[in-house]
Amino acid sequence: MGKTCKVQVNGAEFSANYGDLLLDAALMNGVDVPFDCRSGYCGTCSVRVVTGRVFGGETADPETVRACQCRVVSDLEVAVEDVPEVVVQQGQITRLVPLAPDVMEVVIALPEPAHHLPGQYYKLQFRGFPTRCFSATPPLTGRHNDRVIHFHIRIVPDGRVSSQLGRTIRVGHRVKLTGPLGSAYLRPELSNRLVLVAGGTGFAPIWSIADAAMREWSERELVVVVGARELESLYMIPALCRLARCPNVNIIPVVQESQAVSPAVRSGFPTDHVPALTAKDIVYTCGAPPMVEKVEKMAAAAGAKCYCDPFESAAGDDEESGLLTRAVRWFTSAPEMSPPATPSRPAAQGPRPTPAPQRVPGPKLAPGPQRVQGAKVAPGPQRAPGPQRVPAPKLAPGPQRLPGPPSAQGPQRSMGPQPAPSPKRVQTPQRAPAPQAAPGPQRAQGPRRDLKEAARIADLSRYAPPRARNKPAWLRQPQISQN
């Protein structure tokens, strides 16, 4: 029999076999440990090791491991943070608000209040569409309602879900929400400086964390670095203006394109403008995986605590299928087909096969000797023709019979009176066609919508800075970090 280890999770003790996965052993013994992907990527099942040793599941924090990836190799005591219970709720879309050319805000109303921590996310399944993960966030302006959840969704042109927002997915569409999930949420009652780094719609959980942190303690030091591709994609300006009212907040907006609208907006990437980190800082980051990985490395080099939820492109919809459906797909799939690679981590390409050598044509053979034709045989003597037959003489014609008198013929049958031909129908004169009305002047067509949009994007003059009396403090005197 294998070795048995004693495991304690928040005081609940149970036995596990040597080498068992910590998450599986806890769930089999009725101990609740939050989890989501079971692949060590989302970080929802992160636990803190108090005593003992585990194998695998390491994270950037040496005291934290992923329960779905680590195995029990000794007596163990772990601690799991108290988070809201994962529940399934049914909601309905009440509003679809375009925040930017490529960002849509989806507002969902719930029958019961939603309980989630700032920074957590939900699994959303719009009726008739596959499941996707989006972070919950408070409204950019106005008050927050516990029965209403806001999501910022980036529109992908060929996306199966996001491209249908406003088309097939409209106001009134039913939605199933599963959550809350995620480990990159705000830890309360901490006075450390918060450094928040967001890219694109990754601002949704970052705004939720910043709003909750300022409500908890408005005097705390906060640095917000938010980036977008274009100037029009900085949809979070209203929220940044709300944060700028706090005294110790430093806001650094960044766009990839060069612009001359405001000196407060930097050019480049968010990672280019992250301030110098210290071991006392707490870093939260969300966005594209390359940006998140770079921020993680910067935090690890400085010894700072880092929480992150990277955005990963959906490679498939297997998570929404049951076990039987996935088994049928596996058995019916072609054996030579390999699973698709994750977009953010492209699969390594194998060596290309060496093309087969072409066949070299051999030398043409000389034609062989032709066959000599033999001499023609002389024809033999011809047969003499026989005597011809003399035709018989023609006989003289006999006397012809004279025709008899007309009376000799029988009486002919008289024809009855023929009906008189009916009068022809007089054709009525055709009605002359009515004169066609002359075509009126056609309505001049206005410029196409795409041209109008392009002209509006190209005209940056409307982004001219407002008057000094209307500028917020962070625009009049931007607190630009020299680092």
| In the block, residue with structure tokens 């403090």 | 473
175-197 pLDDT, tens digit each: 999 999 998 999 998 999 999 99
Domains in the chain, start-ordered, CATH in brackets?
4-79 (3.10.20.30), 87-181 (2.40.30.10), 194-315 (3.40.50.80)
Confidence of residue 290 (pLDDT cuts 50, 70, 90): very high
Q: Collapsing DSSP states into helix, strand and coil, what is residue 472?
A: coil
CA distance 81 to 34: 9
Which segments of 49-170 does DSSP mark as H helices, in order?
none
The model's pTM: 0.64
Own/partner contacts of 2-10, CB < 8 Å, gap of 24 or more, are 5/72, 5/73, 5/74, 5/75, 5/76, 6/75, 6/76, 7/72, 7/75, 7/76, 7/77, 7/78, 8/76, 8/77, 8/78, 9/33, 9/47, 9/78, 9/79, 9/80, 10/78, 10/79, 10/80
123-155 pLDDT, tens digit each: 999 999 999 999 999 999 988 899 999 999 999
3-state helix, strand, coil in the chain (%, to 5): 20, 25, 55
Q: Collapsing DSSP states into helix, strand and coil, what is residue 24?
A: helix
Beta bridge partners of 49: 78
- Lowest mean pLDDT of 4-18, 153-167, 393-407, name the range: 393-407
CA distance 311 to 315: 12
Which of 183, 195, 237, 192 lies closest to 217 in space, CA to CA? Answer: 192
Q: Cα angle vertex 99, ends 135, 194, to 5°?
A: 45
- 332 pLDDT higher than 50: no
Confidence of residue 16 (pLDDT cuts 50, 70, 90): very high
Rounded percentage of the chain residues whose pLDDT exceeds 90? 53
| pLDDT, position 401 | 54
Burial track 229-240 (b if 16+ CB lie within 10 A, e otherwise) = eebbbbbbeebb
- 330 pLDDT higher than 50: no
CA distance 291 to 273: 12
The residue count of the chain comes to 483
Contact by Cβ (8 Å): 254, 265:
yes
Q: What is the mean pLDDT of the chain?
A: 76
